Chain A
Amino acid sequence: MGDSPRRGHSIAAQGGLNAAKNYANDGDSILRLFHDTIKGGDFRAREANVYRLAMLSNNIMDQCVAQGVPFARDYAGYLENRSFGGAQVSRTFYARGLTGQQLLLGACGALSLQIKAGTVTLHPRKEMLDLVVIDGEAKGITVRDMVTGEINGFAADAVCLCTGGYSNIFYLSTNAMSSNVTAAYRAFKKGAFFANPCLTQIHPTCIPVSGGRQSKLTLMSESLRNDGRIWAPKNKGDRRAPVEIPESERDYFLERMYPAYGNLAPRDIASRAVKAICDNGFGAGGGTGVYLDFADTIKRAGRDKIRERYGNLFEMYEKITGENAYKQPMRIYPAPHYAMGGLWVDYNLQSSIPGLFVLGEANFSDHGANRLGASALMQGLADGYFIIPHTIAGYLAETAPGKVNAEHSEFKKSGDDAESYIKKLLSVNGRKTASEFHRELGRILWDNVGMVRSGEGLKKALQLIPPLRAEFRQNVKITGSGNELNQELERAGRIADFLEFGELMARDALHRRESCGAHFRIEYQTQDGGARRDDENFCYTAAWEFKGADREPELHKEPLKFENAELAVRSYK
């Protein structure tokens, strides 16, 4: 979609890549990574997928090293590890705070090799607007050339969507600006089931919002929790500078609440703890945010060690906040980061439409109700490098190659639909910008479908979204035309999809009358404020089927069977 595959990430993961290598000799194994991931996802992931993922983690690591990804090494030349949340072993491999970028460049190198060999043709600056389904099978896509505005069909034997997650629906998130739900949502409208749309991850350690015109939030890697301690003032509304607050008046609340995992509690749990602290008035400087403090490690290991491990993150923090985190603690607050939900896929990563395969964050399969740190890179690469080459072959073996071409009437219809849709958007000529609608939608979702949800709030969201969407259709203002590079038009098209998809998210969250992982319903909690699952009634994947623009989607349930992992109450104490 962008100008280059080297920028093809929906987000540049910072911290690392999990692999069950057990190089650290701390008792890691494939089974342990499997258990950690299942438990981290609060038993809402498909067991078989997770086991396969854990097995492939080691192959991924081997492949990336062979590609020349410059992972951190120790003085003997061996690979280094660090720890991530939800695990008590050290299994995360990393390339400074740039692991995602480096893995992307490794993959981009492998792609470049194929481009040179002539086996892959790249089409930069194109946006998918529709999936073309012929006789019930995915046979191509309709795209808009983002430079000329030309709309074209691309016929294929099969279609793979690797279009990332939809956290940008919240307006402010850690995702790259062009991440969106459009490709996945339009496939949903063509019949692909959407699974668990309400399961979105709010990451605990991000730089807090600074002003009303902010366009995105920046993550501070979970890896920082290896060496940073999270605390808040013990006294309500303490407005003193953090360095002036004595040790005895600091509450290291994660260490207090979850002594076994401490600062490395999983993301959903840490986020809620931070929110509770701030909601109760104990936030940093009396506001929203808590401290992530490196003073102890700097004292123990020295500033240089911290710089070597996280230098680029400290620089990034200083650029954004103007504060030096070597001298004073970082201020952090949770922010939308990752979508565990996505298009429903079977074990072969095939969606409910034969011939449509969905990979990476765009699918739903492996992280259940909460993804553990350093597992997104693992899943994306497992899907792309090791799963799809095998599973797509099964489909291709059953279909005649070159069955359709782009002259087929379905392509023409799809192209015409896309064209008239764009014309309609451009002709509204109202008074509000697309971004204004996006901000309003984001606010509704953040307040009601965010870190903490309630039946009441979700119903409210379901009441608020349709009128906002109706207003968008009558009052959005887009300047420029359809046959040129028009970023306002691109934005409006994506926000229009968010305005529909937001409702699906709220509907899914409302129907799931339990708490699990990142989906926390205040009505369903344990006595000490933990998530209370209802395995009897909700131990399933919710896969929604589109039934028409004005009709409610239909819910399909895929029961989750656990044959190897034992369904248990998730505890990190």
Chain B
Amino acid sequence: MNLTLFIWRQKRPDEKGRLERHEAKDISPEMSFLEMLDAVNEELVKNGNETIVFDHDCREGICGSCSQVINGVPHGHREKTTVCQLHMRHFKDGDIIYIEPLRAKAFPVIKDLIVDRGALDRIIQSGGYISVHTGGVPDANAILIPKEDADTAMDAAECIGCGACVAACPNGSAMLFTASKITHLAMLPQGRIESARRVCMMTESMMNEGFGSCGNHYECQAACPKGIKVQFIAKLNREFLKAVFKTYTPF
């Protein structure tokens, strides 16, 4: 199939970007979306042009590098699918496709389709872990965890940190991302100990990084390639309220 692409090109963070037209020719249905871009890039190189840069790594939907908005939807229109797992069989000959980077105040564009998602890492660094040092820990089976709780923790821990939730949100909020880590750790007995402190630190960090607040649009859940649920945001809010009124005085 042949496709027409309008791709965001931006040389530097402080430079103005624009949509540039490219033609993708002889694309086969079993190719992935990124393989289609690889083909476009190889043509560009052959003709002496600079390639379109985009973040990618594992190409199996687990590393969270993909940061593209396809036809206005982060990761494209397929449910629970990262860009690398989106295959061209879901497009048809003659389609026009718009490809842009994730857009959010907290994610400055570095070049073309690559954005800086360091803000998400800084939220984690503010407290998104259990403060255990290596060594001197009890036997793995000394901590019993009800299966239902472990399953919920796992549902939340599946977040790949791609930032699609932020780009999908009209407020540019990172609540789903933050809530997934809060829930994951708060569901586990070894994580509960720091939960009040953690939720306050991470919430503060989230606000300082320039992310907005949740307005219950649920766009994040719709865009999440891992199907992380908005219920976790309710859990985040509940943990936050508990912390504010009970144990910990936030900022």
- A residues apposed to B, CB below 8 Å: 2-7, 9, 11-12, 19, 21, 23, 58-59, 61-68, 70-79, 93, 95-96, 98, 100-102, 105, 108-110, 112-113, 115-116, 122, 124, 147, 176-178, 210-211, 213-216, 218-219, 315-316, 319-320, 322, 385-386, 389, 431, 433, 435-436, 477-480, 484-488
> Which residues on A sit within 8 Å (CB–CB) of B160?
101
Q: Residue of A at shortest CB range from B110?
A: A147
Q: Are A218 and B124 in contact (CB under 8 A)?
A: no
7 smallest A-B Cβ distances: which pairs?
A109-B129, A77-B144, A66-B137, A70-B153, A70-B154, A73-B150, A65-B140
Could you tell me if B190 and A68 are in contact, using CB atoms closer than 8 angstroms? yes
Within 8 Å of chain A (Cβ to Cβ): is B87?
A: yes
What distance in Å separates the Cβ of A174 from its nearest Cβ neighbour in chain B?
8
| 0/1 string, B67-92, CB within 8 A of A gives 1 | 00000000000101100011101000
- Residue from B62, B125, B141 with most neighbouring chain A CB atoms (10 Å): B62
Q: Does B135 contact A (CB under 8 A)?
A: yes
Which residues of the other chain, B, contact A214 by a CB distance below 8 angstroms?
A: 30-31, 35
* Cα distance, A105 to B110, chains bound together (Å): 25
Q: Are A3 and B45 in contact (CB under 8 A)?
A: no
Residues of chain B within 8 A of A11, CB atoms compared: 58
B118 touches A70 (CB 8 A): no
- A3-B117, A4-B161, A66-B132 known; 12 new pairs, CB 8 Å cut-off, are A6-B124, A6-B161, A7-B64, A9-B63, A62-B140, A63-B134, A73-B147, A96-B154, A210-B30, A319-B78, A386-B135, A488-B41
Contact across chains for B147 and A75 when beta carbons are under 8 A apart: yes
Residue B59, interface by CB 8 Å: yes
In the assembled complex, B32 has its CB within 8 A of some CB on chain A:
yes
Contact indicator A6/B121 (Cβ below 8 Å): yes
Chain A residues whose C-beta falls within 8 Å of the C-beta of B140 in the assembled complex: 19, 21, 58, 61-62, 64-65, 71, 79, 93
- Residues from chain A with Cβ under 8 Å of B34 in the complex: 215
Q: Are A477 and B114 in contact (CB under 8 A)?
A: no
Q: Which residues of A contact B110 (CB under 8 A)?
A: 147, 485
Shortest CB distance A198–B (Å): 26
Q: B138 CB to closest chain A CB, in angstroms?
A: 7
Asked if B145 is at the interface (CB within 8 A of a chain A CB), the reply is yes
B53 engages A487 (CB within 8 Å): yes
Please determine whether A65 and B143 come into contact, CB atoms closer than 8 angstroms: yes
| B44 contacts partner chain A, Cβ-Cβ < 8 Å | yes
Contacts of A113 in B (CB 8 A): 129, 131
**Which residues of chain A have C-beta atoms less than 8 A from B46's C-beta?**
431, 433, 477
Max chain B C-beta neighbours (<10 A), residue from A67, A78, A219: A67
Kindly supply a per-residue 1/0 record for chain B positions 196-210, scoring 1 wherever the CB is within 8 Å of any chain A CB and 0 otherwise: 000000000000000
Known: A68-B191, A110-B132. A433 touches B143 (CB 8 A): no
Q: How far apart are the CA atoms of A510 and B63 in the complex, in Å?
A: 37
Least distance between B136 CB and chain A CB atoms (Å): 9
Are A213 and B35 in contact, with the CB atoms below 8 A?
Answer: yes
* Interchain CA distance A72-B34 in the complex, whole Å: 33
Chain A residues within 8 Å of B32, by CB: 215, 320
Given contacts A21-B140, A68-B184, contact A215 B38 (CB under 8 A): yes
Judge if B213 is at the interface, Cβ distance under 8 Å. no
Pick from B45, B81, B87, B139: contact of A479, CB below 8 A.
B45
CB of A109 within 8 A of CB of B128, answer yes
Q: Which residues of B contact A315 (CB under 8 A)?
A: 80
Within the complex, which residue of B116, B118, B137 is in contact with A63, where a contact is CB–CB below 8 Å? B137
* A68 in contact with B35 (CB, 8 Å): no
Q: Knowing A79-B141, A101-B62, A109-B130 touch, does A66 contact B190 (C-beta < 8 A)?
A: yes
Q: Which residues of B contact A110 (CB under 8 A)?
A: 129, 132-134
Q: Which chain B residue has the least Cβ–Cβ distance from A490?
A: B53
Would B80 and A488 count as touching, CB distance under 8 A? Answer: no
User: For the complex, is B157 an interface residue (Cβ under 8 Å from A)?
Assistant: yes
Known: A7-B63, A177-B58, A215-B34. A71 touches B150 (CB 8 A): yes
Docked pose: A213 CA to B42 CA in angstroms: 11
Interface presence of B56 (CB below 8 A): yes
Provide the bound-state CA to CA distance between A177 and B60, in Å. 10
Interface check B55, CB cutoff 8 A: yes
Q: A70-B154, A113-B131 given as contacts; is B59 within 8 A of A176 (CB)?
A: yes
Taking A108-B124, A113-B129, A488-B51 as contacts, is the C-beta distance between A2 and B87 under 8 angstroms?
Answer: no
Separation in Å of the B10 CB from the closest CB of chain A? 11
Do the beta carbons of A479 and B50 come within 8 Å of each other?
yes
Report yes or no: A12 in contact with B184, Cβ–Cβ below 8 A. no
Q: Indicate if the CB atoms of B39 and A213 lie closer than 8 Å.
A: yes
Q: Which B residues lie within 8 Å of A21 (CB)?
A: 140-141
Contacts of B63 in A (CB 8 A): 2, 7, 9, 12, 176
- From known contacts A78-B141, A211-B28, A320-B87, infer whether A218 and B44 are also in contact, taking CB-CB under 8 Å: no
B57 lies within 8 A of chain A by Cβ: yes
* Any A CB within 8 A of the CB of B249: no
Tell me whether A479 and B141 are in contact (CB under 8 A): no
Q: Tell me the minimal C-beta distance from A75 to chain B in angstroms.
A: 5
Q: Is A485 within 8 A of B53, CB to CB?
A: yes
In the complex, chain A residues whose CB is within 8 Å of the CB of B221: none
B48 within 8 Å of A (CB atoms) = yes
Min CB gap B89→A, angstroms: 6
Q: Does B185 contact A (CB under 8 A)?
A: yes
Q: Which of B87, B134, B188 contacts A322 (CB 8 A)?
A: B87
- CA A319 to CA B86, docked complex, whole Å: 7
For B171, list chain A residues within 8 Å (CB): none
Nearest A residue to B37 via CB reads A215
Q: Is the CB of B51 within 8 A of A479?
A: yes
Distance, CA A73 to CA B144, complexed state (A) = 9
Please determine whether B139 and A62 come into contact, CB atoms closer than 8 angstroms.
yes
**A316-B61 contact, Cβ under 8 Å, with A68-B188, A76-B144, A213-B39:** yes
Closest partner residue, chain A, to B28 (CB atom): A211
Q: How far is the CB of A299 from chain B (nearest CB, A)?
A: 24
Counting CB contacts under 8 A, is B111 at the interface?
yes
A193 to chain B, nearest CB (A): 29
Most buried by B among A319, A431, A433: A319
Contact (Cβ within 8 A) A319 B81? yes
CB of B247 within 8 A of chain A?
no
Q: Which residues of B contact A108 (CB under 8 A)?
A: 124
Known: A68-B188, A68-B190, A98-B158. A488 touches B45 (CB 8 A): yes
- Once the chains bind, are B138 and A66 in contact (CB under 8 Å)? yes
Contact of A484 among B44, B59, B80, B111 (CB under 8 A): B111
What are 16 A-to-B residue pairs whose CB atoms are below 8 Å? A3-B116, A6-B161, A62-B138, A63-B134, A68-B188, A70-B154, A77-B145, A110-B132, A112-B124, A122-B121, A211-B28, A218-B60, A315-B80, A316-B85, A386-B134, A477-B45
